[in-house]
Amino acid sequence: MRRKASLILLALAVFFAALSPLMRWYAFPRLAKIPPSQYQTMVLEARNATLIDYGTMRAKKVPRLTVVQTLKGNVEASDRIEESAGRDVVVWDGLSYVVGPDGAFVSQIPERYIFDAHSQEPVHATGESVDGDPVTREGIEFKWPFLTEKRDYEYFDARARTTRPIHYKGTETFRGLTIYRFEQTVPWTKVPFPKKLPVRGITADSLAGTGTEMWYTTVRTFLVDPTTGAPVYGEERHREEMRGGTLLGDKDKVTAFAGDVKMREDYIRSTVDLVTSQRTLVLLLTSYLPWGFLVLGVLLLALALWLEARGRRPGEPRDAAVPEPAPVSV
C-alpha cells in the first residue's frame, strides 16, 4: 500500500514541477493581455500656466488649465482588425481635451491607437490616426509591456507625430509601490495646429495660410509599475509657440501654451489602487503559482521518498530465501 502511495506522490511531484515553468513561460504570455473593452480617464492640471488669447494674439497668465485624457476600448474595431491580423488586438479611441479655469474649451486632440493586447507593440491598420491624420506609430504609447525592463524604450509622441527614446532613470518607491522612472525629451519640433480651436472662424488651415507655424517641446516623466507596465503618475513640462507669419504682426513668436502639467491628486490615488489590484493577478501567473507549484513538487517528492523508505523495515532482507523442498522417500 505504501509503495502504491509513494508512486502516486512521485507522479504528482513530477506533474507540479513540470507545471511550474509552463505557467510562467507558456501560460503567462498567452493569458496576460489588455481587455478590448477597457475604459479609463485621467485628469491633469497645469497651475499658473501661460495661454494664448486668439482674439489679441497675446500670451496671458491663467491660474489653472485642466487636461482630461480618456481612453475608450473600441471592441467592434478590434474584432474587425483581429480577423486580418491573426492576433489579439486592442483599439483605443483617445481624446486629450483641454479646458481653461472657467471651464471654457481650449483645444482637443483625438487619436486612435491600435496595439497588440499582449506585448503592447503597435499594430498598423486602417484608422490609426492622430487628430484625424493617418499615422504609423513606432514604439509604445500610454502603457509599457508587462514585466517592464530596466532599459530605454521607444515612445510615440502624439503631438509631434514622432517616436523618440524614453530613458530609464532609476528605481524608487511611490505611494508604497516600487516603480521605474522614465523620462523623455522632445526637442523643439514643428507641429500642426489642432484642427478644432476655441475661436469661431479660426481654423488650422486659416492659421497656416498666414505663414505662422506652431512649434512644440516637452519633457515628460512617467512612474511605471514594472509588473503591470501601467504608469501610476505622469507629468510634462510642456511648451508651444507660434512663430513667424503675418498673424503675429511685429512679433517673431508668441507663447501659445506653457506650463507644468501634472496628474491631479485624486486620480493619483485611484490609479495606484487600480494598479495595486491588477499587479496581484500578474504576480499570480509569474511568481506565486510557478514558485508554489515548484515548492509543492519538491514537498511531494520528499514525501514519496519518505514513504518508500518507511516501507522497508530495518534488517529485513531484500529477497527472502526460498527453502528447498524436503526429499520425498518411497
Query: Percent of the chain having pLDDT more than 90?
Result: 59
List the grid coordinates of 65: 488649465
Count: domains in the chain: 1
**In a domain? residue 326:** no
**In a domain? residue 46:** yes
Residue/partner pairs of 146-151 with CB below 8 Å, 24 or more apart: 146/32, 146/118, 146/227, 146/228, 146/229, 146/282, 147/226, 147/227, 147/229, 147/282, 147/286, 148/180, 148/224, 148/225, 148/226, 148/227, 148/229, 149/226, 150/180
| pLDDT tens-digit map of 198-248 | 887 788 888 888 888 999 999 999 999 999 999 999 999 999 999 988 888
Closest CA to 92 of 149, 156, 146: 156
Alpha-carbon distance of 264 to 304, in angstroms, equals 57
For 59, the domain range is 35-284
Output the pTM of the full model. Answer: 0.87
**In a domain? residue 276:** yes
Q: State the pLDDT confidence band at 56, using cuts at 50, 70 and 90.
A: confident
**In a domain? residue 150:** yes
Q: Answer whether 234's CB lies under 8 Å from 224's CB.
A: no
| pLDDT tens-digit map of 270-305 | 999 999 989 988 999 889 888 998 898 889 888 888
Q: Answer whether 66's CB lies under 8 Å from 99's CB.
A: yes
**In a domain? residue 14:** no
**In a domain? residue 29:** no
Of residues 24 and 265, more confidence is placed in 265
**In a domain? residue 325:** no
List the grid coordinates of 45: 492640471
Q: Is residue 316's pLDDT more than 60?
A: no
pLDDT of residue 322: 52
pLDDT of residue 65: 93
**In a domain? residue 258:** yes
